Structures are given as C-alpha cells and as structure tokens.
Structure 1
C-alpha cells in the first residue's frame, strides 16, 4: 500500500464561490493493485482509509498479461445526516445516463462511475461510515472498483467462486443455495488456493480469473461439516453481516494465514456448475452446447457484455461439468483436487 498525504487546498465555504464543491480538500491518497489495475483512492477524511484497508489490505497483487490501467476513485464525506435515520441503510438503486453509471442509496450515499474516464466518486455520510461500514465498503466502494476494473479491461464479471492449484483454477457457478460458499470454504481448508467466493472476473482471451480474496461469507449451518473445533471457533468468532435478503452470514477474513490465497490470476482449466441435487456420478461432463446454454442462464448480466462469446467458447473448450451435491463437502473437494491434478 502507498499512503500519501496530499496538500490540502483552501476549501471555500461560500457556495457562491464553489457551488459544486470542486475545490474540496482531498487530504489522503492510497494506491492498491486490484484485479490487474492500479486503483488510486483519494479521500477527504482519514475515516475512509480503514474501509480501504478492510477491503484491500494485505491481498496478493494480481496482474494480467497486458499492463493494467490506472483507475481513480474519489471518496468524499457528505453533509451530516441524522444517525437515527440510518437504522437500516437505504437499498441501492442502479442508475445510468450520459456515460455514467451509478449506485444510489439516497442523496447522501451513492457511487457515480465514469468508465470512459476511468474515474468514480463515492459519497457517504460520517454516520453511515460509523454505523454501516460493511454496506459502504461492499455496496459503494467495491461496486465502484469492480465496475471500473471490469469496464477498463474488458473482463467478464461472474457471480461465483474460484479455487485452484499451481496456477490452474476451477470456476464454481450455480444458483443461490447450491453450496458455492461452503465448497469454497472446504477447498480453502483442504489446501486449494482460494481466489474468490462471490465475484470472479475473467480475462476472456487467456481465460485468466482474478478476484478479491478478502472475505468468505457462510451461514452458521456450514459449521456442521467442520470437524476441527479450532476452525469452527475461527468461523463463529468472525463478525456477522446481514445481506439485503435478510440472511445473516459470518464474514470470515481470509488474510490471517489459515489458507493459501491465489498469488496470481488462475488460468481456468474447467467450469463446475453446482447442483443442489445428489447423483450417483459426482462429475458429469456437459456438451459444448449445453455448457454454453447453462452458462448463459446462470450469468444473465455477463451474457450481455462484450467478451461473453469468447469466454463461452474457451470454457467449452476446456470443459464444463455438472457437479452434483456430495454427501460431504470434503468429498467434492477431493474430486476437484483429483481433477486439477489429472
């Protein structure tokens, strides 16, 4: 991490002089290598730095074959709002127009992204940072980083997980409840390299996958498969977060050395489409046409973006499989390990 103190220009308080707050002071700068890009965060208050470290501190620096772009994200505090009004953070609504993309909670909490300029602005009140740092980090800051990195590099964004070994990775896709997070957890515990659990970004021409391996989110029932008491304690001592769906999950920080994080992008060697149904055969190969159809149904947003056709062609070439529900996640991990070693 590079943390620079910026010169603080005079900040006029007269709206007649600076009605758009263009001269507001940006006192702090932090640079991170994320998803192949150099992301420079410029903040007007030190409170932002803790969120940046929580999201991106001590992570492997991934690079793609081509030099990564420089992305700039400005972090600004909004005017103070009544803390009582933030008992629950407002839902995020997506907006677009005039070349801008946005995620808007309300007038004081939003992210606005200019992909063509490789810039974004994130705004939140001090009360929101204090009461709901998870939502600011996950729904505003990470949203801006993901969108900029994806658009600037032509990456294919996927809702899924990815694990691997020796530079080769396997993509884990499937509907909510199929067991992606539980399988990712046991893959980590079973010695596989962990790349991402929730969002995977693939450079389609080389089928290289990157992600942010900061947290793993699992429900308490995932612990029923964990026999090691120390691991169960590690999970259950983690903070809990509440998804917009209402589901509560442990947010497990993966940077404490319990598992191996992928040190570089993984070259995808196959795609596993998880099923919540058991079957006599754990791994069933899919035909190229079936693989592409299932991928498209599983990832409707990515399927409409440039790079999708190339991604599908290459996935069909390396192979896609139906991964049935195993009697225990470790059985599925053993199958993935054997498949990667073959």
Structure 2
C-alpha cells in the first residue's frame, strides 16, 4: 500500500489485511501533501503475531519510549511495539491479534507514531502539538495548552468554511514555513456539541465512533474526509500564529492581543516542550518571533474566535 503523506512517499507492507485496513482507515483519501525539494521513500512494515498478550484488558498498557543505536522504540509489551530507524527510513510495527480489539490505540500509538517520527526525522520537519486552519493556501497556527480550545476552534473554522489542516499535530518545513499534517479526524467532546448550530454537522459528529484517550477523556472521532468542510489540499503557508487561551471576553475587539516580541521565544519553549528539543527548532522559533504572534481569548461563541482568526488572516495576506 502506497500513500503520499506529510511530504513523503510511504510504503506500507504486511501479510495482514486487518493491519492494512487500519492503514487505509488512517490515510485513505487524505490530501496527498507534497513539499519543496525531494520526496523521500519511507517504508513501514506491519507484522501480526499470535494473541494472548492482553488478557482481559480494558485498554492496552501505556506505550514506553526508548532510544539507542540510532533507533527509536515505542513499547506496549513484548508483542506490541514499534521500532523506527530514521537513518534507514524504515519502521517495523508489531501487533498481536488481541491488539486488533483496540484499533484506536493500535492505529494512533503505533502506526501513526511510526509515520510521524519518520516524516519529522527524514524530512527535517518541526513536529508541533498544534492545530491549523487557513484560507487560499495561507494558514494560522493554533498553539496552547491541552483544553485551551484548539480543537473547538479548528472545528468551527472548518464549519465556517476555512481550510482545515489539523486539530492536533502539525509539521512545519522551516525553510518554506509550509505546514502539513494528516488531515483525517477531528476529536470532539460531547459538551462541545452545544456550540454546533447546524443539525447536519451535529449528526455527523454525534454519530461518529467514540474513542477514549489515555487520560480517560472520551471524544467523538469525526472523519473530516466525509465531506463536511474544506480540507487543505496542499500544505498551508504560515502567515500567523496564536496562543489559544481559555480566558473569556465578551468584547470582540479584545479577542486578539499581540504577544510582546520579547516573550514569544520563552512561551514557545514552554508550549512545545517536545519540539523544542528537536533539530530545526531554533530557526523555526526565530521565524515566528519575526512574524509576531497573538494571544486569542475565548468569545461567547467559537464563531467569534473564528472571525478574529479570519481578520488576522486577511491582514497578514495583505502584507
């Protein structure tokens, strides 16, 4: 199975149709993003082994991360793990038959982890815990703590006609400041449905499968490929970035406020602890400082925040 993802050409190989079906669930019909320069060939082998390793489990044990000898490991147990070799541009995902009962964990914590790490390391991308929406090929990066509202903002950007890139993981090529992602799902809490006014969109989300995060939080996993908005067909050129805040304001003119340039670097380091330790972080950080950043507070309805983002995009696109 071959997929164009995150600027790379991924080749998935397996004798297990069940594992290839999970690959298709994750990456089928995802916009085939390409980045400037070369498109590397990346290989992921998926191997299914006999079960009996997760007896009576409500969920699999958490993934333990290890590294050594230019290899990266994500280990659940002796029969469920991923080994990644960026130097060889290859990854091996091993899963037991009883792990198939946990398709979300298998897909998200092993298969997608392998894809993300290979893309970031082999293409020199900066991996961010962030969301991104845009318009006309230009994008705004949404940063902030978990629970600050990035997903809600990205969802309503999608519903209001903006191009949707991602609500969770964004990868940036520093030289071009192009942002790419795997544009497949948006994860929505049940209490966020009260802000979704369109009945068709409410049904789309509420009838989606429910996944359970490691934190215990349950969310609808709504497939954005099902035609409920505009997906970013190509990487978005970043023209703005905001820290999403949980602080409320009823004044639409006070939603966006600039972050002092002297504070941006420290706030980025604190917000993106994993990315800050990766190659390419410093030039990326410097470009965001030069670009300038804003803090976005919550309005009475997410639509107000989307309007503020749209205004920011308009201003930046005129520069």
TM-score class, shorter = over 0.9
Q: Counterparts of 1:148 and 1:172 in 2: how far apart (Å)?
A: 23
Aligned to 1:339: 312
Equivalent residues of 2:54, 2:60 under 8 A apart: no
2:92 is aligned, of 105, 121, 124, to 121
Aligned to 1:227: 197
> Is 2:60 aligned against 1:89?
yes
> Is 2:14 aligned against 1:43?
yes
Aligned to 1:15: none
Q: Counterparts of 1:140 and 1:118 in 2: how far apart (Å)?
A: 16
SS at match of 1:63: coil
| TM-score, scaled to structure 1 | 0.89
2:258 is aligned, of 273, 279, 285, to 285
Aligned to 1:109: 80
SS at match of 2:55: helix
1:300 is aligned, of 266, 273, 293, to 273
> Is 2:189 aligned against 1:189?
no
Q: Counterparts of 1:231 and 1:207 in 2: how far apart (Å)?
A: 32
Residue 318 of structure 1 deviates from its aligned partner by: 1.9
Aligned to 1:21: none
Residue 83 of structure 1 deviates from its aligned partner by: 5.8
Aligned to 2:28: 57
Residue 84 of structure 1 deviates from its aligned partner by: 3.5
Aligned to 2:234: 264
Residue 80 of structure 1 deviates from its aligned partner by: 2.4
Q: Which ranges in structure 1 are unaligned for 5 or more consecutive residues? A: 1-29
> Is 2:44 aligned against 1:73?
yes
- Structural RMSD (CA): 1.1
Higher relative contact order (CA 8 A, sep 6+): 2
Q: Counterparts of 1:115 and 1:49 in 2: how far apart (Å)?
A: 22
Aligned to 1:211: 181
1:46-75: per-residue Cα shift (whole Å, max 9, x none)?
Answer: 111210111000011111111111110100
Q: Which ranges in structure 2 are unaligned for 5 or more consecutive residues? A: none
Q: Counterparts of 2:16 and 2:197 in 1: how far apart (Å)?
A: 44
> Is 2:137 aligned against 1:137?
no
Residue 85 of structure 1 deviates from its aligned partner by: 3.6
SS at match of 2:87: helix
1:99 is aligned, of 70, 86, 105, to 70
Residue 273 of structure 1 deviates from its aligned partner by: 0.2
Q: How is 1:323-338 mapped onto 2 (pairs within 5 angstroms)?
A: 323-338=296-311
Residue 340 of structure 1 deviates from its aligned partner by: 1.2
Equivalent residues of 1:269, 1:319 under 8 A apart: no
2:119 is aligned, of 137, 140, 149, to 149
Q: Counterparts of 1:217 and 1:112 in 2: how far apart (Å)?
A: 27
SS at match of 2:211: strand
| TM-score, scaled to structure 2 | 0.96
Q: Which has the greater radius of gyration?
A: 1
1:287-329: per-residue Cα shift (whole Å, max 9, x none)?
Answer: 2221111111100111111111110111122221010111110
